[in-house]
Amino acid sequence: MMRVVIAEDAALLREGLTRLLEERGHEVCAAVSDGDALLAAVAEHKPDVAVVDIRMPPTHTDEGLRAALRLRQDHRDTGVLVFSQYIETRYAARLLAGNAAGVGYLLKDRVADVADFVAALTRVADGGTALDPEVVSQLFRASRHADGLATLTRRERDVLALMAEGRSNAGISAALVISGGAVEKHVASIFGKLGLPPSEGDNRRVLAVLRYLGG
Amino acid sequence: MSGTAPGDFASPRGPAPGSQAPGGGVPLRLAERAVGAPFSLRARREVLYCLVSVPLGLAGCVVIAWILAPSLAVAGSVVGTVVGLLGIVLVLSIARRLGGLYRRVAAWLLDEQIAAPQPFRRPAGSIIVRLDARLRDAAAWRAIGYTLLRLPLAFGQYLALAFWACGLADLSYPLWWPLFRNPSPGAGLSPVSAATPPPFGSFVHATSWGGSLLVAIFGAVLLLIAPWLTRGVVTADRWLARSLLGPGTLSQRVRDLEQARARLVDDSVALLRQVERDLHDGAQVRLAAMAMNLGMAKEKLGADGQPPDVQRARELVDAAHLGAKEALVELRELVRGIHPPVLEVGLAEALATLAAGSAIPVRVTADLPQRPTPAIETIAYFCAAELLANATKHSGANQIDISAEIIDSERTSVLRLGVCDDGLGGADPARGSGLAGLERRVGSVDGRLSVSSPPGGPTQITVELPMKA
């Protein structure tokens, strides 16, 4: 069970999310509609994870992102899932900023696939990473390492993308319907081809992959 | 990064004459300026301008008068109307070109930057409509006026040049006098006249070497007058060129703005229709289908008790689920096309995001200490997006540079956006409708778009926008 704080200014979505999470047995400690209320609610409830909309009152620009960055600084034990109508790669870069632990950035669309969404939220609550496939595909497209990426097989690219999203080996094997051993082999091959140092732990791995793609 | 913005090559300007006069009394400084004037850089430039200008002005004047006069004469008669009107249209389009030539000469030699008037826009419609627009082209008529006024100007310039030439000639008298005028004593020689600018009869004569010194002094006086005469004539020319070759009078400006506004209204109506169509054909259809699927699923599940057809209901809910997700994607694209949300944060951030999504590597340098108004930021963003898309599609470039900076001048600040690629070049606003559309959009807020794209590249496109619309 996760303890969750939700910050979302659209009432329909706020209540929908609350219901969705409660039906799955999680506890929604607070559901608020702006950045200040979010900071207050997190300080009060110390939840496992906060779901934060980027555009909220009063300016409807990026106060959600700014609140999320504050949370990342002040409440390291609370995971932050930024939840937005659109994806800006730069926002992702600012959120990660050298630390991929307990952070997520997903399109609101993803809530349509309830199981995937809750899995991503759980990952973030547990100190993992959840990046939207859209962010990852933008990173692939804009990457300076097109040559390096071209050496990968199709399957390896899929695995790399899932790693960048922040999935564990188990998550990757479930998503691609392949065995855990096959995933490990692919991962080793990718790290070899791209010349990345083998890294311990999922968070380190995400950072290494993202740094490679973004560099 | 891309240091190739045209404005980076600011032309070095010579100091204004007399601007560095050392200390001393006011009369002393004035005297220094008067004596120094003939040797100043400005005087040299103005003389050069007159030298170029006299033949150019006369030629332009002759060409225009030569076609215009008979055309006007003929156009009055019943038979000659067509020929006469064609002649006038020809003169008008020649005058526009001549105006451009004169502007360039003034910019080159006098450093007099005169903005070009709005280019002529050929309206759609019958030949009568087009002819009417041509005949109402005020900028061209003003150019004709300027070209004809060049005739008296050319006379003034000629006079100024004559002062220089005669002054120099007179100054040389004492040098060659002993060589040629060395008569045997007692022989009577007719007096030699000093060179005098044409409309004045010569009134200084010399019969001896001593007299030739007097001529030389006369020449020096001419040379002291010459720069001020030149400056007077050139100043008159500058004033005429500014008022006749520039963007025009207030009424002309009002007409241009009316046209720009009409285009803007058309564009926004077209945009709204496009949005309406996208919504109607896209998200609306998907939502309708979704509602239908859910309605059918509800039926299959029945009002209460055991559902009659669970399998079918599942399929229908699946379809509705898929439709909802597709509608979301479509709406997101649409929203981004109307107004990219990241623009709220700032142009720099929006450009960086734009660059991040590009298939070709893009470097962005943005130096924007102040924020332009939202309308300007939006135009700049869409320009960058369009130019980036163009470069990606057509140029075959390996690297694109986007720069955004604020250029402060004395009177006003402008936002300058540069998009530069190392591709094939050959971009031409006259051919590609995309660039022309951008030009229109930029022009609607009095901005400017300039293209440098020689065949073989590189392509540098610069958009200058005011800080507020």
Domain boundaries, chain B: 24-248, 282-338, 342-466
pLDDT above 70: percentage of residues in chain A: 100
pLDDT at residue A133, rounded to an integer: 92
In angstroms, the separation between the Cα of residue A117 and the nearest Cα of chain B is 14
For residue A86, which residues of chain B lie inside 8 Å, CB to CB?
A: 332, 335-336, 341-342
pLDDT at residue B338, rounded to an integer: 83
pLDDT at residue B182, rounded to an integer: 62
| Tally of CB atoms within 10 A around B2 | 19
Mutate which: B334, B335, B343, B353, vs A, most A CBs within 10 A = B353
- Beta-carbon separation of A142 and B358 below 8 A: yes
Beta strands, E only, A22-73: 27-32, 49-53
Residue of B328, B335, B344 with shortest CB distance to A61: B344
Residue of A55, A90, A109 with shortest CB distance to B329: A109
| Tally of CB atoms within 10 A around A48 | 23
List, in order, residues 6 or more apart from B370 with CB less than 8 Å away: B406, B413, B467
pLDDT in tens, chain B (469 residues): 333 333 333 333 434 444 444 445 667 777 777 777 777 788 888 888 888 888 888 888 888 888 888 888 887 777 777 788 888 888 888 888 888 888 888 888 887 777 777 777 776 677 788 888 888 888 888 888 888 888 888 888 888 888 888 888 888 877 777 776 665 555 556 667 777 777 777 777 777 777 778 888 888 888 888 888 888 998 898 888 888 887 766 776 787 788 888 888 888 888 888 888 888 888 888 888 888 888 888 888 887 778 778 888 899 899 999 989 888 888 888 888 888 888 888 899 889 888 887 888 889 999 999 899 998 999 999 999 999 988 888 888 889 999 999 988 767 789 999 999 988 887 777 666 578 888 888 888 888 888 888 888 788 999 999 988 7
- The CA-CA-CA angle for residues B438, B131, B437, to 5°, reads 5
pLDDT at residue B183, rounded to an integer: 58
User: In Å, how far from its chain's centre is CA B289?
Assistant: 53
pLDDT at residue B1, rounded to an integer: 38
One-letter amino acid at A103 equals V
CA dist B66 and B144 (Å) reads: 12
- Beta-carbon separation of A108 and B328 below 8 A: yes
pLDDT at residue B6, rounded to an integer: 36
Is B342's Cβ below 8 Å from some Cβ in A? yes
Mean pLDDT of chain A: 90
In angstroms, the separation between the Cα of residue A210 and the nearest Cα of chain B is 14
The residue behind tokens 């096959």 is A182
Q: Assign domain A137-214 one CATH number from 1.10.1380.10, 3.10.129.10, 1.10.10.10, 1.10.760.10.
A: 1.10.10.10
In angstroms, the separation between the Cα of residue B395 and the nearest Cα of chain A is 18
For residue B335, which residues of chain A lie inside 8 Å, CB to CB?
A: 85-86
Is A86's Cβ below 8 Å from some Cβ in B? yes
Confidence label for A77 from pLDDT (cuts 50, 70 and 90): very high
One-letter amino acid at B363 equals R
For residue A150, which residues of chain B lie inside 8 Å, CB to CB?
A: none
The residue behind tokens 């929604």 is A28
Is B322's Cβ below 8 Å from some Cβ in A? no
For residue B359, which residues of chain A lie inside 8 Å, CB to CB?
A: 141
Asked if residue A48 has pLDDT above 50, the reply is yes
Is A12's Cβ below 8 Å from some Cβ in B? no
- Beta-carbon separation of A85 and B332 below 8 A: yes
pLDDT at residue B3, rounded to an integer: 37
| Tally of CB atoms within 10 A around B118 | 18
- Beta-carbon separation of B342 and A88 below 8 A: yes
pLDDT at residue B7, rounded to an integer: 34
For domain A3-131, the CATH class is: alpha beta
Could you say which DSSP state residue B16 is in? P
Average pLDDT over residues A19-26: 92
| Chain A to chain B Cβ contacts (< 8 Å) | 50
Per-domain residue ranges of chain A: 3-131, 137-214
Q: What is the pLDDT of residues A78-128, one digit of tens each?
A: 999 998 888 887 888 888 887 889 999 999 888 888 889 999 999 999 999
The residue behind tokens 């041509």 is B134
The candidate with the shortest Cα–Cα distance to A141, out of A213, A84, A205, A86, is A213
Is A62's Cβ below 8 Å from some Cβ in B? yes
Q: Tell me the pairing of strands A49-53 and A79-84.
A: parallel
- Beta-carbon separation of A86 and B344 below 8 A: no
Confidence label for A173 from pLDDT (cuts 50, 70 and 90): very high
Q: Two tokens at B434?
A: 């995309």
Q: Assign domain B342-466 one CATH number from 2.60.300.12, 3.30.390.10, 3.30.565.10, 3.30.300.30.
A: 3.30.565.10
The candidate with the shortest Cα–Cα distance to B173, out of B202, B198, B143, is B202
State the pTM of this model: 0.60
For residue A90, which residues of chain B lie inside 8 Å, CB to CB?
A: 342, 349, 352-353, 356
The candidate with the shortest Cα–Cα distance to B415, out of B391, B384, B459, B455, is B384
Cis? peptide before A58, omega within 30° of 0 = yes
One-letter amino acid at B74 equals V
One-letter amino acid at A96 equals L
For residue B356, which residues of chain A lie inside 8 Å, CB to CB?
A: 89-90, 138, 142
The candidate with the shortest Cα–Cα distance to B467, out of B428, B411, B393, is B411
Asked if residue A188 has pLDDT above 80, the reply is yes
Confidence label for A42 from pLDDT (cuts 50, 70 and 90): very high
CA dist B335 and B319 (Å) reads: 24
Is A179's Cβ below 8 Å from some Cβ in B? no
A107: enclosing H helix or E strand:
strand A103-107
